[in-house]
Amino acid sequence: MRRNSRQLNRSQPRRGLTLIELLVTVGLVAIVIVSISQIFRVTSDAAAVTEANASLIQKSRNINETLEREVRNIAPDCILVINCPPPIRFDTEIANGPSVPLQVDAIAFIARGNANEYESTTDPTRPIVGSPTLENLGPATSSEAIVYMGPGDPMTKNPVIGIDPLRLEQNLIVASDWPFVHRTILLLPELPENRVATWVTRDMQSLFVNGGLFNNQTGLTPQYENGTTDVVYSSATLRANSRTFAQLLMNKDWDTDLATDTPSIVSFWSRSLAPQTLTVNVAATNLRNFYRRSGATFTFGLADFRVEWTDGRPVDPIGLDGMPNTGDENLNTRWFGIGPDPKEPVTQAALVELTTVNDPGDAVGVPYYAWKRQNAYINPNLSPAEQDAEQAINDFYRDRIEWPRGNNAGTTRSMYRAIWRADTWEYRPKALRFTYRLYDENNRIKNNTEVDFNRDGYPDPKIAGVPNWQMLRLGREFSVVIPVP
């Protein structure tokens, strides 16, 4: 009887999980999986942001090194131009996003470097193996060049529709797609042999005739804007070097030419066309020039490029009380260019215009000023003779170097330009400050940040009882100060 009882017990089926127990188990497993995936996602995102930051820092180092090298190469007693047009004020960082004023400044000058330091990116000449005369050929090189550093006008990303320029002011691309151009037009004292005739089309004489590169009011001539060539060679009467350029530029009248909206040398600081892709539709025209243009494109994802200069003096060494060392002085270095006034508060109406999705017109937003050396502070404690001497220097900047628009009233269309030539070279900047914003490729670097549109170092709007405004900003800002030789 006992044996049969044991056999009966063994034959009974074992008890399984109930539906409730199964659901609880599945729920717990799901929670564990979700938690692990969340941890993995957060870790992956953090790693990606760290990698993007490291990439931007390295990119900034490369940019700063190039800026430092080129500033070091500025040819003395020749020409240096800083051009600051009105900032672009649209949804420039995020498509259909808030309006962020981004500057599009540029710097241009004649550079003199080491032998063969500048190499043509458009010269199609290449060595021919086995030819005694052509085996050592290569792209043209020179120790001197006309240098431009600033934004470029991008070309379409969509190769199907052809090769069409997209001007930055058209607001068709976001700032992370903006190209930054490092253009060099080589000065060739001697024309190299065995060159393609359609490539070497401009000599020194042709640049300064009516309608030439440096004698027109419309900007770069097609050969240089479209990437056909990036050299100029000596003519029968004019040698292609910095000394000749300095002499020819001295023939330009300040009042009727250089100190106008559209000077005859506007090509110096005009933008080049810059492809946004290395591939193009086979049916597109002008393929060779499409690829040549890439040579001047230094990088993408650089915007809000600002160029400022200083004479090395403080803003206000005396203060309102007219006495030094009393605590009301402003000993910060004074910088000239365009920008908002830190002393002018940003109104709530301006913040609404800037941080909401719309298209602000000329009458709204934060006003910009042309900060001019000609209006520099004169110490009232100086003797009358010393004050007259300081005023004479200010007048010299007004009459020979600086051209502003928006003199004493801030507007959204203020401009600033400074041109130093051989006769004003002793008043050249002591240092240049370059400020710019870099964007990573996937826009991983983004933060809801407090805004400071008037750049006084404090969040806007600085009104009691009103919280600080915030907006989503992409990328990261960098700055570098470089002495001028």
Tell me the pLDDT band of 130, cut-offs 50, 70 and 90.
Answer: low
Q: Phi and psi dihedrals of 348, rounded to 5?
A: -65, -35
Which residues, including other chains, have CB under 8 Å from residue 463's CB and lie 6 or more apart? 345, 348
pLDDT on residue 132: 58
> What single letter denotes the amino acid at residue 66?
T
Confidence of residue 25 (pLDDT cuts 50, 70, 90): confident
Strands 297-300 and 273-274, sheet pairing: unpaired
Mean pLDDT for 123-138 is: 67
Strand 118-119 vs strand 153-154: parallel, antiparallel, or unpaired? unpaired
Q: Is the pLDDT of residue 20 over 50?
A: yes
- The larger pLDDT score, comparing residue 313 to residue 26, is at 313
Q: Which pLDDT score, from 0 to 100, does residue 358 have? A: 52
Residue with the bigger pLDDT between 439 and 349: it is: 439
Could you tell me how many helices (H) and strands (E) the chain has, helices first? Answer: 8, 23
- Give 239: exposed, middle or buried? Use CB within 10 Å, 0-12, 13-18, 19+: middle
Tokens representing 119 are 């190499």
What integer pLDDT is reported at residue 241 of this predicted model?
A: 94
- As a whole number of Å, the end-to-end CA separation of the chain is 113
Compare 160 and 272 and report the one with higher pLDDT.
Answer: 272
Q: What is the dihedral of CA 348, 354, 356, 358, to 10 degrees?
A: 120
What pLDDT, on the 0 to 100 scale, is given for residue 284? 46
User: Which pLDDT band, with edges at 50, 70 and 90, does 363 fall under?
Assistant: very low
> What pLDDT is stored for residue 409 in this prediction?
59
Q: Per DSSP, which regions of 220-359 are E strands?
A: 231-233, 273-274, 297-300, 302-310, 314-316, 330-333, 337-339
Q: How far is the C-alpha of 332 from the C-alpha of 129, rounded, in Å?
A: 60
Residue 442 above 60 pLDDT? yes
Indicate the helix (H) or strand (E) that contains 3: helix 2-11
Helix boundaries (H) for 330-481 = 348-355, 384-400
Contacts of 151 (CB under 8 A, 6+ apart): 104, 106, 168, 178, 179, 180, 181, 271, 303, 305
The residues pairing with 112 across neighbouring beta strands, listed in sequence order, are 144
The structure tokens 């203020």 sit at: 414
- With CA atoms as reference, report the closest residue to 372 among 311, 304, 435: 311
pLDDT tier for residue 30 given thresholds of 50, 70 and 90: confident
173: DSSP letter: S
Q: How many angstroms separate the Cα of 103 from the Cα of each of 49, 100, 205, 416? A: 26, 10, 35, 12
Q: How does pLDDT run across 155-181, given as a tens digit for each residue?
A: 765 545 555 677 887 777 888 888 899
Checking if the pLDDT of 81 tops 80, the result is: yes
Question: What pLDDT is attached to residue 108?
Answer: 97
- Positive or negative torsion for Cα 203, 204, 207, 209: negative
Q: Are 416 and 84 in contact (CB under 8 A)?
A: yes
Phi-psi region of 470 (alpha: psi -120 to 50; beta: other; left: phi over 0): beta
Rounded distance between C-alpha atoms, residue 302 and residue 191, angstroms: 35
Per-residue model confidence (pLDDT) at position 77: 95
Highest mean pLDDT, choosing among 3-12, 44-53, 246-255, 463-472: 246-255
For residue 44, the SS3 value is helix
Give the Cβ contact number of residue 328 at 10 Å. 13
Tell me how far apart the alpha carbons of residues 159 and 79 are, in angstroms, rounded to a whole number: 38
Which helix (H) or strand (E) element contains residue 39? helix 19-72
**Can you say how many angstroms the Cα of residue 360 is from the centroid of all Cα atoms in its chain?**
22
**What is the enclosing helix (H) or strand (E) of 41?**
helix 19-72
Average pLDDT of the residues of the chain: 82
